[in-house]
Structure 1
Amino acid sequence: MSVFDGKRLPAGFFQIDTERLREGWYSDAYFLNTEMILTTLAEEGYNFNGMSDIIEIDNINNINGISPVNLNNGDIIVEMQFFTRRRPFSLIAGTDEAIAILRECTGYFNDKGQFVNTYHTMEVEAAMDGVVNFYEGNPKEVSPIMKIKGKYRDFARLETPILGVLTESTRIATNVYNVLAAAGGKDIMFFPARFAHYKVQEMHGYAYALAVKAYNQKYGKSSRAIVSTNAQGNWWGAHGGGTVAHASIACFLGDTAETMMQFCRVVPQEVPRIALVDFHNDCVGDTLKVMEKMFLAFLELYQAGRYNEAEKYRLFGVRLDTSGNMRDVSIPPLGDKNLDCGVNPRLVWNVRNAIDRAYESWDFPDSYAELAKAWCQQVKIIATGGFDAAKISRFEEMRVPVDIYGVGSSFLENSNVNNTKNDFTADIVKVKIDDKWYDLSKVGRRSCSNPDLGLVGGI
């Protein structure tokens, strides 16, 4: 069952380019060629005039008792299955959009150039977005997440965009799921917007949220879905969040503490105050400057009884984003780039220790010591820059005190390394002749089943 309550997303969410999908604008040319050939044969009334290794032809020119006169290849009805073979599993996403494409774009153009929708003549089975699809490695034992039965020339041109939707959505969802597993359910900020075309942000954000909910449901966790753009949250009703960028600090002439003071003063209180502290490659130093300035502003308002206003100056966390080719000034060199540079465990521990004891050097009345201590120790550490499931796993195994990870480009990866390749493919596995289905597929493939498949309703 889908983690989104068993309901499919409305077709309108996807803003499908219906006109150009129908015209084959996004289709590989060989599918268009096939459609043109089948359409021409149907118009000509062509009947099968070849030989088949799958269906035996007897000596009176019948195909298993079926006369070739009745076999019009142009109108051939097929069963096509769509599947992926990522090991050991994939978290499926994109079926809702694929179905929306089929509903809107299955059919043909008549002699007057009008599109005739024939989706109602098809039978479509599909898994719900959010199901986990397992694959053990046997190429003949795939678990299809969608099956289409219908006149092939009516949907041939849709194979390319459907495969693309399923591949991209499922890859993101599965990669996010694996990162959450590596982080043990800690919050994962979704930061790939700058690494992909802006038009795919909505789909990416949906796949991310799907994975967060699936992981929480599976393991009883409460990880939050945190996106950076409004587009990423559009399909599920969320808004982008964030605080400051390096460019913000540059606008304040490199003064990170003053940047945060103005952020706190101007930005609504419900936005978490997260300081980016690597501008000078001195995460500890900038963290301490930000904390002291913000706490003293907090304390002044607190002492005046303006408690709600004081909360504007409560630091939620600091974000470490040190470049992988830079060594923070707090890190004594060991001569190994992997140990010295970027956001590494030693840097996180240095910052954590500095945060927890920062109040000890501040000038305030002793009666507020416990308040200051609590204010400091609730500050979280957000680690970003070059994180993926493998790096997060190392940090978690070492119990590095990261509270939240921010992950970007690794969510988009689709390589053969560690079986992360998430490509989908589709095959015709059966043909229908005189109301009887015959197995027919390329060598190495066959029609397979999946209990997660369910019939999809009509238009």
Structure 2
Amino acid sequence: MFDIVSAEAIREGTATDAYFDRTVAALRHADRDPHVVAEVTADQFPDGEFELFTGVENAAELLSGLPVDVDAIPEGTLFDGGPVMRIEGTYTDFARYETSLLGFLSHASGVATSALEARRAAPDSSLLSFGARHVHPAIATMIERSALVGGFDGFSHVAAGEHLDREASGTMPHALVICFGPGEQEAAWTAFDEASPEGTPRIALCDTYTDETDESLRAAETIDLDGVRLDTTGSRRGDFRHIVREVRWKLDDAGYDDVEVFCSGGLGPDELRELRDVADGFGVGGFVSNADPIDFALDIVEVAGERGAKRGKLPGPKAVYRTADGEHLVLPADDDAPEDAESLLEPLVRDGEVVADFDVDAAAERAARDAERVGFATGTE
């Protein structure tokens, strides 16, 4: 019914590029199927431009049941070069899965990197992911999970919440207010209040027909309000910081100092930095959901025990280390480990069995620690 590749197709290896099918056919025709080591990398050498690694849980599920061994850096780790994953096994056993594997890792890591950048821009604010409407619904769960790994507090997508066992967050759209019509904002806010379950934050959208200060005060007078959300379109926004400060001032002046102010609508790190001291939280959409995927590649680096790689790639299996000062080192895997350095590649799959655990909160905590250690997005501090 929809343009969606099924989970069965991914699992069976048909969600692949055609040349992998032809490669497998050619190798079998030639009775040649070597044992190889392959590595997933974005950059060969560390370059100081860190990105956040995620999508590992889906990658592990993809490779489970195959006769391969896989090592990977843990989910939530920041990397700037060298392998993030290493696969060892007979080539045709995993060749067809390269397309899906790279897709799982590339897209999720790009989204999580942008989410972490937003989090670093507003480290003490509440952040919700509002971007599912900008992507194909089939990947909404990936978007929301990646936002959580990047440090977001929640998200808006209901089905993703069911999959991740998290309750979706949200207030009301302009459509609710418009269905009641001009001058009937109070009726819309009252309906929202009366229909919402206990425990749902009463956050009123306050910029539909009149200015933000007027609607915010009227909403606070109408229902027991937890907060107001300002989602003013760019064409009417003007100086958004001034608008937010004015709303805060007038709410405080009227005795509603406990009513919080949330902002949404086309916000990115620059806007978060500008508003983080005058707003309590933000809904961030396209900056996170529309993030460019990380340009990962999978390359064979050893064939039948012999080091080898295509021109421009580094032959031989490698190890990746994090030094005490946050630097990354990439060395041949059989070299001695540097003193006071942490090895980042850890077992993920052994002979087809997933041996790692996955926890979104633990990954988010790791990302936050790593961001401090490596100075990620320091311009947002």
Q: TM-score range by the shorter chain?
A: 0.7 to 0.9
Deviations 1:60-116 (A, max 9, x none): xxxxxxxxxxxxxx2111111012349521221111211111124xxxxxxxxxxxx
Map of 1:93 onto structure 2: 54
**Across the two proteins, how many residue pairs are aligned to each other?**
319
Q: Is the 8 Å Cα contact of residues 383 and 402 (structure 1) preserved in structure 2?
A: yes
Tell me, in whole angstroms, the C-alpha distance in 2 between the residues paired with 1:87 and 1:256.
51
Q: Is the 8 Å Cα contact of residues 205 and 231 (structure 1) preserved in structure 2?
A: no
Matches for 1:281-430 after TM superposition, within 5 Å:
281-294=210-223, 313=224, 315-327=225-237, 340=238, 344-358=240-254, 373=255, 376-396=256-276, 399=277, 401-415=278-292, 422-430=294-302
Map of 2:17 onto structure 1: 28
Aligned-pair CA distance for 1:22: 5.3
Map of 1:445 onto structure 2: 313
Question: Given the superposition, is the C-alpha separation of residues 395 and 264 from structure 1 closer, same or farther in structure 2, using an over 3 Å criterion?
Answer: closer
Tell me, in whole angstroms, the C-alpha distance in 2 between the residues paired with 1:290 and 1:19.
49
Q: Is the 8 Å Cα contact of residues 202 and 234 (structure 1) preserved in structure 2?
A: no
Aligned-pair CA distance for 1:425: 1.3
Map of 2:340 onto structure 1: none
Deviations 1:318-352 (A, max 9, x none): 1111111124xxxxxxxxxxxx26xx111111111
Question: Given the superposition, is the C-alpha separation of residues 279 and 22 from structure 1 closer, same or farther in structure 2, using an over 3 Å criterion?
Answer: closer
Tell me, in whole angstroms, the C-alpha distance in 2 between the residues paired with 1:395 and 1:289.
23
Q: Is the 8 Å Cα contact of residues 276 and 318 (structure 1) preserved in structure 2?
A: yes
Aligned-pair CA distance for 1:23: 4.9
Q: What secondary structure does 1:81 align onto?
A: strand
Q: What secondary structure does 1:75 align onto?
A: coil
Question: Given the superposition, is the C-alpha separation of residues 270 and 18 from structure 1 closer, same or farther in structure 2, using an over 3 Å criterion?
Answer: closer
Aligned-pair CA distance for 1:260: 1.1
Question: What is the aligned counterpart of 1:80 among 22, 30, 38?
Answer: 38
Tell me, in whole angstroms, the C-alpha distance in 1 between the residues paired with 2:37 and 2:263.
48
Question: Given the superposition, is the C-alpha separation of residues 84 and 281 from structure 1 closer, same or farther in structure 2, using an over 3 Å criterion?
Answer: farther
Map of 1:139 onto structure 2: none
Tell me, in whole angstroms, the C-alpha distance in 2 between the residues paired with 1:250 and 1:291.
19
Q: Is the 8 Å Cα contact of residues 24 and 32 (structure 1) preserved in structure 2?
A: no
Deviations 1:6-30 (A, max 9, x none): xxxxxxxxxx945423554321112
Q: Is the 8 Å Cα contact of residues 77 and 150 (structure 1) preserved in structure 2?
A: yes
Amino acid paired to 2:70: V
Deviations 1:141-185 (A, max 9, x none): x32121111111121111010000001111111111110100023
Bigger strand share:
2
Correspondence 1:233 to 2:222: no
- What is the TM-score with the length of structure 2 in the denominator? 0.79
Question: What is the aligned counterpart of 1:267 among 163, 173, 196?
Answer: 196
Q: Is the 8 Å Cα contact of residues 382 and 406 (structure 1) preserved in structure 2?
A: yes
Amino acid paired to 2:110: R
Aligned-pair CA distance for 1:395: 3.0
Unaligned regions of 5+ residues in structure 1, if any? 1-15, 43-73, 105-118, 136-141, 213-223, 295-312, 328-339, 359-372, 416-420
Map of 1:67 onto structure 2: none
Tell me, in whole angstroms, the C-alpha distance in 1 between the residues paired with 2:119 and 2:291.
18
Aligned-pair CA distance for 1:282: 1.1
Map of 1:187 onto structure 2: 126
Q: Is the 8 Å Cα contact of residues 125 and 146 (structure 1) preserved in structure 2?
A: yes
Aligned-pair CA distance for 1:390: 2.3
Q: Percent identity?
A: 30
Amino acid paired to 1:346: H
Tell me, in whole angstroms, the C-alpha distance in 1 between the residues paired with 2:148 and 2:19.
35
Amino acid paired to 1:244: M
Correspondence 1:211 to 2:153: no
Aligned-pair CA distance for 1:236: 3.6
Question: Given the superposition, is the C-alpha separation of residues 158 and 281 from structure 1 closer, same or farther in structure 2, using an over 3 Å criterion?
Answer: farther
Q: Is the 8 Å Cα contact of residues 243 and 275 (structure 1) preserved in structure 2?
A: yes
Q: Is the 8 Å Cα contact of residues 96 and 128 (structure 1) preserved in structure 2?
A: no
Aligned-pair CA distance for 1:382: 0.5
Higher CA-based Rg:
1
Indicate the RMSD between aligned Cα atoms, in angstroms: 2.0
Tell me, in whole angstroms, the C-alpha distance in 1 between the residues paired with 2:145 and 2:49.
22
Deviations 1:26-61 (A, max 9, x none): 21112222111112111xxxxxxxxxxxxxxxxxxx
Q: Is the 8 Å Cα contact of residues 274 and 319 (structure 1) preserved in structure 2?
A: yes
Deviations 1:195-252 (A, max 9, x none): 011111112221122222xxxxxxxxxxx62211222334542111212111111121
Aligned-pair CA distance for 1:253: 1.7
Tell me, in whole angstroms, the C-alpha distance in 1 between the residues paired with 2:105 and 2:124.
25
- Structure with bigger RCO (C-alpha 8 Å, 6+ apart): 2
Correspondence 1:454 to 2:346: yes
Correspondence 1:243 to 2:159: no
Tell me, in whole angstroms, the C-alpha distance in 1 between the residues paired with 2:290 and 2:201.
30
Aligned-pair CA distance for 1:392: 1.3
Tell me, in whole angstroms, the C-alpha distance in 1 between the residues paired with 2:301 and 2:227.
54
Q: Is the 8 Å Cα contact of residues 189 and 222 (structure 2) preserved in structure 1?
A: no
Q: What secondary structure does 1:441 align onto?
A: coil
Q: What secondary structure does 1:188 align onto?
A: strand
Deviations 1:430-456 (A, max 9, x none): 111xxxx22111122114322221222
Tell me, in whole angstroms, the C-alpha distance in 1 between the residues paired with 2:7 and 2:242.
53
Query: Could you list the runs of 4 or more consecutive aligned residues of structure 1 that deviate by over 6 angstroms after TM superposition?
Result: none
